[in-house]
């Protein structure tokens, strides 16, 4: 999965990355269901191990264009994990109280504690994406935030948090199909808003904003992965694989039990 990792200092061009790629599967689902089932079982096992050991923390950042599949990724990849050790935090339009503080103020309380996984469904990156595209603050202000974010994530990593960031990369054509699907399905129509079309009209601006963010903030301690996401099943396999490989690399072990000599269960 390292082919999808953005190396530090890379100049990112999303047009060079195929959102419909299915490397290793030749464009066919094949045994993807079996592989994903295996990955979700492994992720559940590793999450339980992390929770039991209580030493490591995992922060997962999910970003995407509208309809990119953040909710679906959470639903399918984390299927089976113990909710006791996993938190999903979603960041919408800032409240008045949040706007009265610095832009990281609302994010820091949501990062994971020992033994826990936190998934950010959108994140602090909105403040170098939406803010940039809509010119909500001057460029001199938002452009400094790349360094702020790198320092913030470096601090988290230095204090024991493993950070993985995923950009779910879809094509403009696939977004159109997904928006149309929402309109056509009465059970999904509630997800559609006229504002989605206004945001879609800014597609090129968002691409440029993402390219800048991915290139400026993929670091050794908090790497970005650009995940081909036109095919949902492949998106899930990539994210699940990176998560499992990363957690396995931590070398976690169950804590030693206390001395139970002489204990008898009546």
Name all domains of the chain by residue range, CATH numbers in brackets: 2-248 (3.40.50.300)
Query: DSSP for 203-244?
Result: HHHHHHHHHHHHHHH-BTTB-EEEEE-SSHHHHHHHHHHHHH
End-to-end Cα separation, the chain, in angstroms: 51
pLDDT of residue 262: 72
Beta bridge pairs of residue 102: none
Average pLDDT per 10 consecutive residues for the chain, totaling 266 residues: 93 97 73 89 96 97 97 95 94 93 96 98 96 95 97 98 98 97 92 91 98 98 98 96 97 86 78
Structure tokens at 219: 């670091």
For residue 62, which of 94, 104, 90 has the smallest C-alpha distance? 90
pLDDT of residue 256: 85
For residue 78, which of 34, 132, 118 has the smallest C-alpha distance? 118
CA distance readout (Å), 56 to 38, 42, 115? 23, 17, 5
pLDDT of residue 147: 97
Strand segments, DSSP code E, in 51-97 are: 57-64, 86-90
- Count of Cβ atoms closer than 10 Å to residue 187 Cβ: 7
pLDDT of residue 32: 84
pLDDT of residue 26: 61
Using an 8 Å Cβ cutoff, are 252 and 46 in contact?
Answer: yes
Query: What's the angle, vertex CA 240, arms to CA 251 and CA 111, rounded to 5?
Result: 70
Using an 8 Å Cβ cutoff, are 212 and 195 in contact?
Answer: no
Token pair 């935090």 in the structure block, residue: 89
Query: What's the angle, vertex CA 122, arms to CA 76 and CA 16, rounded to 5?
Result: 80
């Amino acid at each position: 999965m390292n082919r999808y990792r953005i190396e530090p200092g890379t100049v990112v061009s999303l047009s060079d990355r195929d959102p419909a790629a299915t490397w290793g599967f030749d464009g066919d689902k094949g045994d993807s269901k079996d592989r994903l089932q295996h990955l979700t079982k492994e992720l559940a096992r590793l999450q339980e191990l992390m929770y039991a050991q209580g030493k490591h923390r995992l922060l997962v950042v999910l970003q995407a264009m509208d309809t990119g599949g953040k909710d679906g990724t959470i639903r399918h990849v984390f299927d089976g994990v113990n909710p006791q050790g996993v938190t999903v935090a979603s960041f919408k339009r800032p409240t008045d109280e949040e706007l009265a503080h610095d832009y990281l103020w609302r994010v820091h309380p949501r990062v994971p504690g020992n033994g826990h996984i936190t998934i950010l469904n959108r994140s602090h990156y909105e403040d170098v994406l939406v803010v940039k595209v809509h010119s909500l603050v001057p460029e001199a202000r938002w452009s400094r935030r790349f360094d702020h974010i790198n320092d913030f994530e470096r601090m988290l990593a230095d204090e024991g948090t493993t950070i993985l960031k995923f950009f779910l990369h879809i094509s403009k054509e696939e977004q159109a199909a997904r928006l149309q699907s929402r309109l056509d399905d009465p059970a999904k129509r509630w997800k559609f808003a006229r504002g989605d079309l206004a945001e879609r009209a800014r597609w090129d601006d968002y691409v440029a904003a993402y390219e800048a963010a991915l290139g400026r903030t993929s670091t050794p301690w908090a790497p970005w992965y650009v995940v081909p996401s036109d095919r949902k099943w492949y998106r899930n396999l990539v994210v699940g694989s990176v998560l499992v490989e990363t957690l396995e690399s931590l070398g976690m072990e169950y804590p030693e039990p206390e001395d139970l000599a002489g204990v008898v269960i009546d």
